[in-house]
Amino acid sequence: MPPEMQIKAEAEKGWARSVKDGFDGFTGRGTVREGSPWTGLGAVVEREFNDNLTSVRMRLLQALVFVTGFAAAYAAIGQIKDTVGEDPFVFLKIFTVSKEPLPSFLAFLGFLIPIVSITLGFDAVNGEFGRRTMSRILAQPIYRDALLVGKFIAGLATLSVFLVALWLFMMGLGILLIGLPPSGEEIARSLLFLLAAIAYGGVWLAIAILFSIVFRSTATSALASLSLWLLFAVFWPMIGAMIAGVISPIDPFDPRTQIAAFETQQALERLSPNTLFAETAMALLNPSTRTFGLVMMSQLQGMVRGAPLPLSQSLLLIWPQLACLIAGLLVLFTMAYVAFQRQEVRA
């Protein structure tokens, strides 16, 4: 073999070995990887999960959420003790009943879950750049796939552990103070509510990770995530009403235009994960919820007023909202995945 051909062959073998060892993580372009892209996934998940559970900011947030949750639950239990013999789903009211000046536990969760999720993800990627550890991590036998997926799984696992512990705390507090165990359907509904809360938090975790990839500054990614949360939590209903007025103008002499405007506004509001989570929680924790939109008089015929829906019917009512939450989580994480694969690490 001529010397120049031998040098080229050795160079190709060396590049193949570097790709196999994970050095393709620097650019992520034009390389053919060898081995599983999930090599090192377990190590990333373990490291990130331990860091999340032991960080000071997470402990502060956990203390805040547990204190506020205890206050809201204690106030709610004081309100519902008189309805034990009247309501078959009295245990679920721990999550929904409020007592002035405290809001309900559900309102607390809708406010605090995005904060916890954003805290877990706003510096997931740009924090590695800030500490100058990204190149060192990708120099190990760890691909970008395993790094990003591991960070997301660790964040979602931390959020799940946090919410499961809070759910167990609320159930134990309810049994202790009410003196009655929950029924099987109440446990099933509360577990489905727990699943919806995890999916809701996963959406905001994916948003925070996406912004941590797009912006190199951790302060900018945190501010962008919080700004988007504030938009959906406070301003989106007003924005949806204004857009609906433009898309479906109301004619005061035509009732059908009012119905069309309301349906358009409702569809726009459901672009917000806050609205999807609120509707899902309402149907699961309040079995008497039958619809989220307008109800015609013809649709009320044959209904028993005040009768709770069985769990199967409540699931039929909220499956679009729950499916949209899970789909939003997957779409947002896919966007983050693509953006991270295209990013130049050495820049």
What distance lies between CA 120 and its chain's CA centroid?
11
Q: What is the pLDDT of residue 81?
A: 67
**Token pair of 316, please?**
């039929």
* DSSP secondary structure, 188-244, as one string: HHHHHHHHHHHHHHHHHHHHHHHHHHH-S-HHHHHHHHHHHHHIIIIIHHHHHHHHH
pLDDT tens, residue order, the chain (347 aa): 554 454 344 434 443 444 444 444 444 444 455 667 777 888 889 989 998 888 888 888 878 888 887 787 777 777 776 654 566 777 888 888 877 777 888 888 888 899 999 999 898 888 888 888 888 888 778 888 889 999 999 999 999 998 998 888 888 888 887 777 888 888 999 999 999 999 999 999 999 999 999 998 899 999 999 999 999 988 888 888 888 888 888 777 777 787 788 888 888 888 999 999 999 998 998 888 877 766 554 444 555 555 778 888 889 889 999 999 999 999 999 999 999 988 877 64
Tokens linked to 305: 């007023």
Yes or no: say if 48 and 154 are a contact pair by the CB < 8 Å rule: yes
Residue-level pLDDT at 86: 60
pLDDT at 241: 85
The CA distance from 219 to 234, in Å, is 22
| Helix 236-247 with 255-269: angle, nearest 10 deg | 140
From the list 171, 160, 170, the residue with the least C-alpha distance to 201 is 160
179 class by beta-carbon count within 10 Å (0-12 exposed, 13-18 middle, 19+ buried): exposed
Question: From CA 98, how far away is CA 74, in angstroms rounded?
Answer: 10
Work out the number of other CB atoms within 10 angstroms of the CB of residue 189: 24
Bridge partners of residue 99, in order along the sequence:
102
* Residue 176: count of CB within 10 angstroms of its CB: 9
Alpha-carbon gap, residue 330 to 335, rounded angstroms:
9
Which residues, in sequence order, are bridge partners of residue 77? none
Output the pTM of the full model: 0.83
The C-alpha atoms of residue 26 and residue 289 are separated, in whole angstroms, by 53
Token digits of residue 221: 């990614």
Burial of 63 (0-12, 13-18, 19+ CB in 10 A): exposed
